[in-house]
C-alpha cells in the first residue's frame, strides 16, 4: 500500500512539474502617463494556450518604460522616464507570486532613460534625451548605488528633422561573450563598443572602438544570433537592418537590407529586433505609419532572406518578445494600449493572429521569466 501511495505522489509531483513548465511570467513595462497604466505588470503566460492572467501590479512608479531582470531572477530594475527628473528603480522580485517590492531609486544622470540592462554586478542605463549612459553598482540586497560612471556623448548627425542635433543614446547591451558593451547612439549615427570591467567602478567602461553607421538612419536596437557569431542592427529612421559578423569585440558589416516596401512613402520609425532562440529567423518592427513586423530567415552565412511583412494589428508597436517555447510572438502597442499575440510557425517563421490580446495601458517592454 505504501509503495502504491509513493508512486501516486510521484506521479502527481511529475504532473505538477510538467504543468509548471508551461507557465512563465511575462513582465510588462509601460508609460503611466497619460494615465492608462498603473506601473509594471506581471502576467502568467501559458505557453500551450497563450492564455494570460494578471498576477500583480507594481504601482507608484512613474513611466517604467523599460525593465530588466537580474541574472539570479531575484530583482527587477526599471527606468523612470520623466524628463530631467528621470530615475532608475530597484525592486525585489518574487517570481512565484509576481510581486515587486520597491527597494530604492537613484538619479539616472540623463533625461529620459529608454533602455536598461543588468548583470550580476551592475545595472547600465541608456539616457535618450540626455545623450549619456550611466553605470550603477548592484548591492547584495538588490539596491542600487549612485552612479559609479557616467559617460556623455556629444556628437550629432545629418537628420533634417532635428532628431540628430545632439547625441541620443538608445541602447546598452552586452555582447554574447560579456566582455564588451554595445551602445547605439541614434543622434550621432554611431555604435560604440566599450570594454567592460564589471568591478572597474569609475572605469567600468572604456572605449574600444566606434563604428559609424549610415548617415541619417538612426541606429536604435541591436541583437545577436544565439551562436554569438552575428549581430543585427535596426535603424529607426528608415527601418533598415545592418548585418554584422561578430568576433572578439569587433563588428564587420556583411549585409544591408530593408524592411519597408519600395513604394512605402509614410513614416517608418523602426522599433525592435530579435532572433528566434533556434537562430533560424529574425523579426523587426516598424511604428509610424507602417505598424508592421517583418520576418526573415537567417542563412548559415548570417545574412538575411526576406519572408514576409505583416500588420502588427495595433498602433505604435514597441518592444516585442518570443515566448520561451517559440510558439508565440507578442507585440506591445504603445498607442492602442494592448499586446497582440501571434502564432509563430517554427518551421516557416510566418506569423498569424492568435486572436488573443492583453489589454494594458501603453505597453513598451515585454520580458519573459
pLDDT of residue 110 exceeding 50, the answer is yes
What local confidence, expressed as pLDDT, does residue 19 receive? 45
Handedness of CA 157, 161, 163, 165 (dihedral sign): positive
Contact 310, 256 (CB under 8 A): no
> What's the order of all strands across the beta sheet hosting 144-152?
113-118, 122-127, 132-138, 144-152
pLDDT single digits (tens) 7-49: 454 444 444 444 457 999 999 999 999 889 999 999 999 999 9
| 101/90 Cα distance (integer angstroms) | 9
| 49/162 Cα distance (integer angstroms) | 45
What local confidence, expressed as pLDDT, does residue 20 receive? 52
DSSP string, 167-227: --EEEEEE-TTSSEEEEEETTTTEEEEEEE-TT-GGGSEEEEEEEE--TTS-EEEEEE-TT
Grid cell for residue 194: 566599450
What local confidence, expressed as pLDDT, does residue 261 receive? 83
Structural domains in the chain plus CATH codes: 25-368 (2.130.10.10)
What local confidence, expressed as pLDDT, does residue 4 receive? 47
> If 0-12 CB within 10 Å is exposed, 13-18 middle and 19+ buried, where does residue 160 land?
exposed
pTM of the model: 0.93
The C-alpha torsion from 26 through 31 and 33 to 35, rounded to 10°, is: -20
Mean pLDDT over each residue of the chain, to the nearest integer? 94
Grid cell for residue 65: 518604460
pLDDT single digits (tens) 42-89: 999 999 999 999 999 999 999 999 999 999 999 999 999 999 999 999
What local confidence, expressed as pLDDT, does residue 262 receive? 82
| 125/68 Cα distance (integer angstroms) | 10
Handedness of CA 162, 164, 167, 168 (dihedral sign): positive
pLDDT of residue 284 exceeding 90, the answer is yes
Amino acid at each position: 500500500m505504501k509503495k502504491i501511495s509513493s508512486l501516486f505522489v510521484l506521479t502527481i509531483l511529475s504532473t505538477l512539474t510538467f504543468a509548471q513548465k508551461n507557465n512563465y511570467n511575462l513582465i510588462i513595462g509601460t508609460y503611466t502617463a497619460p494615465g492608462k497604466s498603473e506601473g509594471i505588470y506581471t502576467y502568467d503566460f501559458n505557453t500551450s494556450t497563450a492564455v494570460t492572467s494578471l498576477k500583480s501590479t507594481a504601482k507608484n512608479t512613474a513611466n517604467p518604460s523599460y525593465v530588466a531582470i537580474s541574472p539570479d531572477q531575484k530583482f527587477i530594475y526599471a527606468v523612470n522616464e520623466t524628463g530631467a527628473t528621470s530615475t532608475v528603480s530597484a525592486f525585489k522580485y518574487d517570481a512565484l507570486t509576481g510581486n515587486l517590492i520597491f527597494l530604492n531609486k537613484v538619479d539616472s544622470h540623463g533625461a529620459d532613460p529608454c533602455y536598461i540592462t543588468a548583470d550580476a554586478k551592475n545595472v547600465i542605463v541608456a539616457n535618450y534625451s540626455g545623450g549619456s549612459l550611466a553605470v550603477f553598482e548592484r548591492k547584495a540586497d538588490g539596491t542600487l548605488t549612485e552612479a559609479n560612471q557616467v559617460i556623455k556623448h556629444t556628437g550629432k548627425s545629418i537628420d533634417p528633422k532635428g532628431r540628430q542635433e545632439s547625441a541620443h543614446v538608445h541602447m546598452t547591451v552586452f555582447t554574447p561573450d560579456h566582455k564588451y558593451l554595445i551602445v547605439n547612439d541614434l543622434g550621432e549615427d554611431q555604435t560604440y563598443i566599450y570594454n567592460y570591467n564589471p568591478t572597474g567602478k569609475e572605469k567600468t567602461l572604456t572605449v574600444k572602438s566606434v563604428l559609424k553607421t549610415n548617415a541619417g538612419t538612426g541606429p536604435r536596437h541591436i541583437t545577436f544570433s544565439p551562436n554569438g557569431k552575428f549581430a543585427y542592427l535596426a535603424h529607426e529612421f528608415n527601418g533598415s537592418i545592418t548585418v554584422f559578423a561578430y568576433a572578439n569585440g569587433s563588428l564587420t558589416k556583411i549585409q544591408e537590407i530593408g524592411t519597408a516596401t519600395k513604394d512605402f512613402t509614410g513614416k517608418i520609425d523602426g522599433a525592435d529586433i530579435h532572433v528566434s532562440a533556434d537562430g533560424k529567423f529574425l523579426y523587426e518592427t516598424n511604428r509610424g505609419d507602417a505598424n508592421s513586423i517583418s520576418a526573415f530567415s537567417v542563412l548559415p552565412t548570417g545574412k538575411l532572406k526576406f519572408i514576409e511583412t505583416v500588420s502588427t494589428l495595433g498602433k505604435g508597436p514597441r518592444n516585442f518578445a518570443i515566448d520561451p517555447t517559440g510558439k508565440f510572438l507578442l507585440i506591445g502597442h504603445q498607442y492602442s494600449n494592448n499586446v497582440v499575440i501571434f502564432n509563430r510557425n517554427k518551421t516557416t517563421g510566418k506569423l498569424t493572429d492568435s486572436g488573443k490580446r492583453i489589454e494594458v495601458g501603453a505597453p513598451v517592454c515585454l520580458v519573459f521569466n
